[in-house]
């Protein structure tokens, strides 16, 4: 509800979040040379992460080699960290390119890393059009942040 009721802006979060100095408040877990990791504050599932280049580009075909390498490496590191920190049974990983594909920010690409557990879907999305998360976003951030704090690429 905090997110739903909050004031929305037309600014691109993938441009404004990494330039902010308040990573804790913004759930930014890691800033690299070309890209960063942030928690999705309106997650599909608990510990839903996103890796985005700093460049404001709308398609992965426009990403340069350095950005591509770091985004890919960070995606791999996110999987490794999530396996250790929260032990999911699997992952959904991918990009939504364009509004028609479900991109909330269709002008700035970002890779979704969604941890999954066997049986993690229930009747709530079907009947109530809501998702239930077993852990508060802040608690998940506090659990993951120490792993990213020591990350070196």
pLDDT of res. 82 = 97
Q: What is the pLDDT of residues 26-81, one digit of tens each?
A: 999 999 999 999 999 888 888 999 999 999 999 999 999 999 999 999 999 999 99
pLDDT of res. 126 = 44
Total-model pTM:
0.81
pLDDT of res. 127 = 42
Look up the CATH architecture of domain 28-149: 2-Layer Sandwich (3.30)
Q: Burial, 44: exposed, middle or buried (Cβ in 10 Å; 0-12, 13-18, 19+)?
A: middle
Domain parsing of the chain, residue ranges: 28-149
| Residue from 110, 112, 145, 147 carrying the catalytic annotation | 110
pLDDT greater than 50 at residue 133: yes
Answer yes or no: 110 catalytic.
Answer: yes
pLDDT greater than 60 at residue 153: yes
Instruction: Find the farthest-apart pair of alpha carbons in the chain and give their distance in angstroms, rounded.
Output: 44
């Amino acid at each position: 509800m905090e997110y739903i009721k909050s004031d929305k802006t037309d600014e691109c979060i993938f441009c404004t979040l990494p330039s902010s100095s308040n990573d804790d408040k913004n759930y930014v877990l890691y800033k690299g040379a070309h890209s960063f990791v942030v928690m999705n504050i309106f997650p599909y599932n608990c510990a839903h992460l996103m890796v985005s280049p700093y460049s404001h580009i709308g398609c992965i075909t426009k990403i340069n080699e350095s950005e591509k390498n770091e985004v890919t490496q960070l995606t791999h590191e996110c999987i490794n960290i999530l396996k250790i920190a929260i032990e999911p049974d699997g992952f959904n990983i991918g990009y939504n390119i364009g509004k028609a594909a479900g991109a909330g920010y269709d002008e700035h690409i970002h890779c979704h890393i969604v941890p999954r557990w066997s049986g993690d879907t229930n009747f709530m999305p079907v009947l109530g059009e809501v998702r239930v998360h077993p852990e508060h976003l802040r608690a998940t951030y506090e659990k993951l942040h120490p792993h990213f704090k020591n990350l070196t690429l």
